[in-house]
């Protein structure tokens, strides 16, 4: 049975197609419409997905009526354009699942775990903001829920807005800024906004409305540090509750909060094993809804599930470009499903050169303080970074053990957001790293997304030509 999963009317629409547990396609709307965090699916995305098969059923990631009631009675936002408007898909039987249930199913059914606790933390679903589920024998059962307005995600987003960034989009920038600040300066004050996991000062949907001090270039880094610290304290409290409530040793973590790679590392201290689906936010819920309808584990092989540029991985061309220019822009094969470029729509660079960070930041038109991430051959990970687990999807920030050798991929606080790669995961990328290693003794490259700040990742041939024309630089394919 072919199932089409859809999420939209949220801050990152997507579409997934599965056939008896095999993922045929999963892609983001923004990569086709070129509108960052596009709320709606579009014809091009649907056309790309449907070339792999025509669905027997459709799964939708949310209960639209319930969400409408919340928006009407308690505030918030959300569109109401029906996704099926004007298409033949309107004839296909469809089922709506709860927002947090779709998150939980996306995580549990793509994991290798039969028995695990599933935690979902985001800004808001229909009403739920924080939920705990038991996943066992392909059954996902709710064990605890916290409803709007108390919300981990809204707390983080409101402070993102307070320090002058875009809420629902630039939380990751605030997380990066936290490394530059002194958390102690604002810890007590920020903690009053979220003193324990059951209580917040007020509904943060309105933003932080009673901050009685000017936010400026000096103190915004300290505020970011305090917010990150308070978030981590509450996260650990919540995770401990989830562990005690379900008595399980494996964790599946989902929802937009699971994109906080600095905090995610702490989870390995609490659980024997952790799975965060590489697209844990709302964009991952088109796959979650499809999995919920399928009702069994699906065969998660890799995040390379989107638009297919085809081609062999251009190992030699990348190495040559890095030898000559220190930087190689790469677009090949299928696009990543999820916010991170993991080798197929990436800028790769020599991590040893201290000037590379500024050069890449200039290409991408990003703030100069922003750190870059390393991709490393998995077998060398514990030699270069303080980590005893794999990080194939760049989801964990860990201490770098040789920061002087690879300065361009180490944050000011001595940490790096690491992607580990083995042969099964991505042979082409592993071969590229292996070649770089044989030439330099360093099994690591800088890896960042192939896009300009605030714009979606490059997707197809047209995007490549446009980039090459605009920036007068070749993209390797």
Q: Which residues contact 73 (CB under 8 A, 6 or more apart)?
A: none
Rg (alpha carbons) of the chain, rounded to whole number: 21
How many Å apart are CA 451 and CA 287, to the nearest integer? 24
The least CB distance from residue 99 to Fe ion, in Å, is 6
Closer Cβ to Fe ion, 96 or 422, answer by number:
96
The least CB distance from residue 36 to Fe ion, in Å, is 18
Query: Tokens in use for 90?
Result: 């309107």
Closer Cβ to Fe ion, 99 or 326, answer by number:
99
How many Å apart are CA 227 and CA 179, to the nearest integer? 11
Closer Cβ to Fe ion, 203 or 382, answer by number:
203
How many Å apart are CA 16 and CA 290, to the nearest integer? 7
Shortest Cβ contact with Fe ion: which residue? 122
How many Å apart are CA 223 and CA 229, to the nearest integer? 10
CB count within 10 Å of CB 255 equals 30
The least CB distance from residue 38 to Fe ion, in Å, is 16
The least CB distance from residue 175 to Fe ion, in Å, is 18
| Residue 338, preceding peptide bond in cis (omega within 30° of 0) | no
Convert 157-199 into a string of H (helix), E (strand) and C (coil): HHHHHHCCCCCCCCHHHHHHHHCCCCHHHCHHHHHCCCCECCE
Asked if 35 and 71 count as a contact pair (C-beta separation under 8 A), the reply is no
Q: Where are the alpha helices (DSSP H) in 247-284?
A: 261-264
The least CB distance from residue 105 to Fe ion, in Å, is 13
How many Å apart are CA 211 and CA 30, to the nearest integer? 34
Closer Cβ to Fe ion, 257 or 446, answer by number:
257
Closer Cβ to Fe ion, 8 or 282, answer by number:
282
Contact residues: Fe ion, CB under 5 A: 122, 282
Query: Tokens in use for 345?
Result: 């729509």
H-helix or E-strand spanning residue 68 = helix 64-74
Closer Cβ to Fe ion, 124 or 433, answer by number:
124
Closer Cβ to Fe ion, 7 or 448, answer by number:
7
Closer Cβ to Fe ion, 122 or 350, answer by number:
122
Closer Cβ to Fe ion, 284 or 374, answer by number:
284
The least CB distance from residue 44 to Fe ion, in Å, is 24
How many Å apart are CA 371 and CA 399, to the nearest integer? 14
The least CB distance from residue 69 to Fe ion, in Å, is 17
Asked if 40 and 13 count as a contact pair (C-beta separation under 8 A), the reply is yes
Query: Tokens in use for 134?
Result: 């038991």
Q: Where are the beta strands (DSSP E) in 213-288?
A: 250-254, 273-275
DSSP states of 391-454 as a string? -TTS-EEEEBS-TTTSGGG--TTSEEEEEEE-TTT-HHHHHHHHHHHHHHS--EEEEEESS-TT
Closer Cβ to Fe ion, 102 or 346, answer by number:
102
Closer Cβ to Fe ion, 259 or 309, answer by number:
259
The least CB distance from residue 121 to Fe ion, in Å, is 9
Q: How many Cα atoms occupy the beta-carbon half-sphere of 154 within 13 Å?
A: 27
The least CB distance from residue 244 to Fe ion, in Å, is 24
The least CB distance from residue 395 to Fe ion, in Å, is 17
Q: How many Cα atoms occupy the beta-carbon half-sphere of 452 within 13 Å?
A: 12
The least CB distance from residue 257 to Fe ion, in Å, is 9
Asked if 356 and 350 count as a contact pair (C-beta separation under 8 A), the reply is yes
């Amino acid at each position: 049975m072919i199932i089409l999963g859809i999420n939209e009317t949220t801050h990152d629409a997507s579409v997934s197609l599965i056939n008896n547990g095999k993922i045929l396609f999963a892609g983001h709307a923004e990569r086709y419409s070129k509108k960052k965090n596009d709320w709606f699916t579009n014809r091009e995305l649907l056309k790309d997905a449907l070339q792999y098969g025509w669905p027997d059923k459709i799964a939708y990631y949310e209960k639209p009526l319930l969400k409408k009631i919340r928006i009407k009675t308690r505030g918030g936002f959300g569109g109401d354009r029906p996704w099926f408007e004007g298409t033949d898909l309107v004839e296909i039987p469809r089922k709506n699942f709860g927002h947090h249930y779709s998150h939980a199913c996306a995580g549990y059914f793509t994991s290798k775990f039969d028995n695990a606790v599933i935690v979902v933390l985001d800004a808001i679903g229909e009403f739920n903001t924080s939920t705990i589920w038991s996943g066992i024998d392909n059954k996902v059962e709710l064990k605890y829920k916290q409803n709007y307005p108390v919300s981990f995600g809204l707390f983080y987003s409101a402070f993102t807005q307070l320090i002058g960034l875009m809420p629902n989009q630039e939380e990751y920038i605030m997380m990066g800024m936290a490394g530059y600040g002194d958390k102690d300066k604002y810890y007590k004050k920020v903690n009053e906004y979220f003193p324990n996991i059951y209580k917040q000062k007020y509904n943060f949907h309105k933003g932080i409305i009673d901050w009685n001090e000017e936010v400026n270039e000096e103190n915004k880094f300290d505020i970011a540090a305090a917010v990150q610290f308070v978030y981590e304290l509450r996260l650990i409290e919540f995770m401990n509750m989830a562990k005690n409530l379900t008595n399980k040793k494996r964790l599946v973590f989902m929802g937009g909060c699971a994109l906080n790679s600095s905090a995610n590392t702490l989870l390995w201290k609490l659980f024997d094993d952790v799975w965060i689906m590489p697209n844990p936010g709302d964009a991952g819920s088109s796959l979650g809804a499809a999995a919920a309808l399928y009702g069994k584990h699906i065969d998660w092989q890799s995040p390379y599930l989107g638009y297919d540029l085809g081609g062999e991985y251009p190992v030699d061309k990348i190495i040559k470009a890095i030898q000559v220019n220190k930087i190689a822009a790469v677009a090949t094969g299928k696009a990543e499903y999820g916010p991170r470029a993991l080798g197929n729509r990436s800028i790769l660079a020599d991590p040893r050169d201290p000037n590379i960070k500024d050069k890449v930041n200039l290409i991408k038109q990003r703030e100069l303080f922003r750190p870059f991430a390393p991709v490393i051959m998995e077998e060398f990970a514990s030699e270069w970074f303080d980590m005893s687990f794999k990080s194939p999807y760049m989801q964990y920030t860990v201490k770098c053990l040789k920061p002087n050798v690879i300065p361009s991929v180490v944050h000011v606080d001595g940490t790096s957001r690491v992607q580990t790669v083995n042969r099964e995961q991505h042979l082409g990328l592993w071969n590229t790293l292996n070649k770089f290693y044989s030439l330099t003794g360093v099994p690591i490259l800088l890896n960042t997304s192939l896009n300009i700040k605030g714009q979606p990742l490059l997707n197809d041939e047209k995007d490549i030509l446009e980039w090459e024309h605009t920036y007068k630089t070749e993209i390797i394919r």
